[in-house]
Chains A and B, each alone.
Chain A
Amino acid sequence: MKLMNLTALVATTALVAPMAMAADMADEMTIVSWGGAYSKSQLKAYHEPYSEKTGVKIINDESSAEAVAKLRAMNEAGNVTWDVVDVVAADALRLCDEGLAMEIDPEEHLAAAPDGTSAEDDFGDLLVGDCFIPQIVYSTTFGYRTDLVGDNPPTDVCAVFDLETYPGKRALEKRPINNVEWALLCDGVAKEDVYDVLATEEGQEQALAKLDTIKDEVIWWSAGADTPQLLADGEIVMGSTYNGRLFSVIEEQKQPVAMLWDAQVFDLDGWIIPAGLSDERKARALDYIYFATDTQRLADQAKYISYGPARASSAPLVGQHADLGIDMAPHMPTDPENAKNTFLYNYEFWADYRDDIDAKFQAWLAK
């Protein structure tokens, strides 16, 4: 089986690669991402080496937060100006469903691992949807002020709901996703039952009732930069945000903050190619993705930011931080020490229930 895969792969790369090279490719491309430290890590790990290798001029747009809305508008106006777009998996699934993203076959368009494992096996379960090429695994988790928790630093996520031991404000994201899961988990629901319970009316009410116990002490955030700022200010005792942000607060800014990895929720971020590109631009975008998602490149990105590479074969190659010189492996959300108790963002559940629970959550917030 493995051998067959391998021969098939060699055959396809041998066939496809020269064809792709032969086709005319655009010499300028617009890549859309999230901005900040994340865009910088992509610039260093992907854009600069790719420009050097091919001479392509890469323009960075920092519009990933509005990617879905903007791609819809571009499609309607018949003027797609983006070539490669970095989005979270949930957005990629929506764009794929609406026909705004191109389907990409990983076997045909992605590099195999150095040991010959096919791309499909190397990415494994992380290949969600037909249009999405995952790049990193990040997690949403909690950071807390070490100077505000006394001698009793929190070790599990239920500390968020424990106002007696950890008095003070906490920051939570202004949406139900993740918050309701944590609420149920801390209200005595077993981890494997969380989504079954959440699917019921009573379960949703139970989660909101649990959140109600801390509602007065919650500051709701909507941008990833909010919680780090609040932690640095000492305005909150703990707050949820993306693990890379917390890494930056702790290791780069040297703030008195520590990570609480318990019940962290994994999510994926990666590339899509918008539908409707001309042949030259499509060829260029595919060529870029082939380059940027190979084993070494994904491992390189982890030198600049503490997000885990999406390929299994990249994990052993993760080295030290480019500026700080510290080992990055222990800071990865996927490190075994950190990943003792984790969730994976439940794409299917949230695709079905998001609108409903969102409405209830917003109504509850306004109460």
Chain B
Amino acid sequence: MALNTVQPQTPGFVAAVSAGAGALFGLFVGTAQGSGFIGIVIGAALLAALGFVLSGMREREKPLRWLITAGFLIAGLVLGGISAAIVGALFGWFAGWFIFWLATSRYRAHLAPYLTPGQVLWHYTFRVICGAIFVFLITPILVVMPLSFNAQDFFTFTPEMLRFDPAGYSMKHYEDFFSNSDWQNALWNSIKIAPMATLLSVGFGTLAAIGLSQPHVPFRRAIMAILISPMIVPLIISAAGMYFFYSRIGLQGTYFGVVLAHAALGIPFVIITVTATLVGFDRSLTRAAANMGAGPVTTFFRVQMPLILPGVISGGLFAFITSFDEVVVVLFVGSAGQKTLPWQMFTGLREQISPTILAVATILVAISILLLTTVEMLRRRSERLRGMSPS
């Protein structure tokens, strides 16, 4: 008895906890339909009743869960068409799983047996909170994707889209992006500016990081702080400062001016990642190379560079994304001739809400995911090379 705390729960307990979950779902569904309060009440009542009844029929879990899923699917289909049926089926599946999970005490199975009910409650509340944070962070990005295939010119889920009618979807915003000269100019400007800025950031940033990692350099910390400052100073301040300075020296509104400004913003990222890689770099290797007759330049390119390359590349990727996503500085330092993608999105969003922006956003999200995956893979490779991870 003492060890086996996994016992079936009472119908009252199951009903009460299920009611809580039902109320949470009811809040979302009810708000979407116009009244959050009614949603909470209906959701709570529905799941409480189901929980109360089902907790007495634990032996027939499988068929009952299928039944609940099917029941909610049909209810959704009748009340609101295909999309509601999908929501209903998901909800029904969850309700069935949740009720039996509670009723058979499976929720305690993986937890230490000595935990008090309060601790168990906190254990799961904590996970629900984490899940909610995750959902709130990710949903706005995910919502953009189906909307970018909208057949209409608004940010609206039309009834056709919700019915999964092919007529409600179209590629026209993607076509607009690839055929509209404003968007294409902006894309090309971004493509021309970002790699140049990245190249400069990587060059200067790597050199600065190597220099600053030499122990004999005076004022290392002060120099480091100045070089990192573009990351800390509010962007709008840097932008205004650059605007007035570049205007005086004739760089404002030129391609080179924007590249320089973006390079300044990218350098801190490169310095930080390269400095971090240099921590694991064994200096006796450069001395060994020198001992064998290699000059400093040869040593750098043949010995040091290959070893710190992952740090350089990930810094470069951050610098690239910084330039590619940047809107504040380019608004000040650039002129209409250097209009980049984020600038075009910014004016587009303010003047005319067009789903082309969503199509571009979807494309950019895909590119960002690709770039970040690359960074992560490089990071793992460098860890492996330095023997920091067991594999």
Q: Which residues on A are within 8 Å of B, measured CB to CB?
A: 30, 32, 34-38, 59-63, 65, 73-74, 76-79, 81, 223-226, 228-229, 232-233, 253
Q: How far is the CB of A8 from chain B (nearest CB, A)?
A: 39
B243 CB contact (under 8 Å) in A65, A77, A223: A77
B247 CB contact (under 8 Å) in A60, A61, A62, A79: A79
Residue tally, chain B, CB below 8 Å to A: 21
Which stretch from B106-114, B153-161, B215-223 is at the chain A interface? Answer: B153-161
> Across the interface, do B350 and A229 meet the contact criterion of CB distance under 8 Å?
no
> Across the interface, do B351 and A225 meet the contact criterion of CB distance under 8 Å?
yes
> Across the interface, do B243 and A232 meet the contact criterion of CB distance under 8 Å?
no
B351 CB contact (under 8 Å) in A59, A77, A78, A224: A224
> Across the interface, do B336 and A59 meet the contact criterion of CB distance under 8 Å?
yes
> Across the interface, do A79 and B156 meet the contact criterion of CB distance under 8 Å?
no
B252 in contact (CB, < 8 A): yes
B347 in contact (CB, < 8 A): yes
Chain A minimum-CB-distance residue to B337: A59
- Report the Cα distance A131→B156, complex, angstroms: 42
> Across the interface, do B353 and A225 meet the contact criterion of CB distance under 8 Å?
yes
Contact status of A225 and B336, CB under 8 A, knowing A77-B248, A81-B253: no
Q: How far is the CB of A72 from chain B (nearest CB, A)?
A: 12
Q: Give how many A-B residue pairs fall within 8 Å (CB-CB).
A: 70
- Report the Cα distance A73→B353, complex, angstroms: 28
B7 in contact (CB, < 8 A): no
- Report the Cα distance A36→B348, complex, angstroms: 7
B35 in contact (CB, < 8 A): no
Q: Which residues on B are within 8 Å of A, measured CB to CB?
A: 152-156, 243-244, 247-248, 252-253, 335-337, 347-353
Contacts of B243 in A (CB 8 A): 73, 77
> Across the interface, do B154 and A30 meet the contact criterion of CB distance under 8 Å?
no
A61 CB contact (under 8 Å) in B154, B248, B252, B335: B335
Contacts of A225 in B (CB 8 A): 349-353
> Across the interface, do A35 and B335 meet the contact criterion of CB distance under 8 Å?
no
A229 CB contact (under 8 Å) in B253, B335, B348, B353: B353
> Across the interface, do B336 and A60 meet the contact criterion of CB distance under 8 Å?
yes
Contacts of B347 in A (CB 8 A): 35, 62-63
Q: How far is the CB of B251 from chain A (nearest CB, A)?
A: 10
> Across the interface, do A233 and B352 meet the contact criterion of CB distance under 8 Å?
no
Contacts of A229 in B (CB 8 A): 154-156, 353
Chain A minimum-CB-distance residue to B240: A73
Chain B minimum-CB-distance residue to A35: B351
> Across the interface, do A30 and B156 meet the contact criterion of CB distance under 8 Å?
no
Contact status of A77 and B247, CB under 8 A, knowing A30-B336, A60-B336, A225-B350: yes
- Report the Cα distance A60→B182, complex, angstroms: 10
> Across the interface, do A253 and B244 meet the contact criterion of CB distance under 8 Å?
no
Contact status of A233 and B154, CB under 8 A, knowing A77-B244, A225-B351, A225-B353: yes
Contacts of A78 in B (CB 8 A): 247-248
What 6 pairs across the A-B complex have the smallest Cβ distances?
A36-B352, A61-B336, A77-B247, A35-B351, A79-B247, A36-B351
Contact status of A77 and B252, CB under 8 A, knowing A30-B336, A60-B336: yes
- Report the Cα distance A77→B245, complex, angstroms: 8
- Report the Cα distance A225→B356, complex, angstroms: 14
- Report the Cα distance A320→B107, complex, angstroms: 70
Q: How far is the CB of A81 from chain B (nearest CB, A)?
A: 5
Contacts of B154 in A (CB 8 A): 228-229, 232-233, 253
Contacts of B350 in A (CB 8 A): 35, 65, 223, 225
Contacts of A74 in B (CB 8 A): 247
Q: How far is the CB of B161 from chain A (nearest CB, A)?
A: 13
- Report the Cα distance A223→B154, complex, angstroms: 15
- Report the Cα distance A276→B154, complex, angstroms: 42
- Report the Cα distance A253→B154, complex, angstroms: 9
Given A35-B351, A37-B352, A59-B336, 11 additional A-B pairs, CB 8 A: A38-B351, A60-B336, A63-B336, A65-B350, A81-B253, A81-B335, A223-B349, A223-B351, A228-B353, A229-B156, A253-B152
> Across the interface, do A35 and B336 meet the contact criterion of CB distance under 8 Å?
no
- Report the Cα distance A77→B247, complex, angstroms: 6
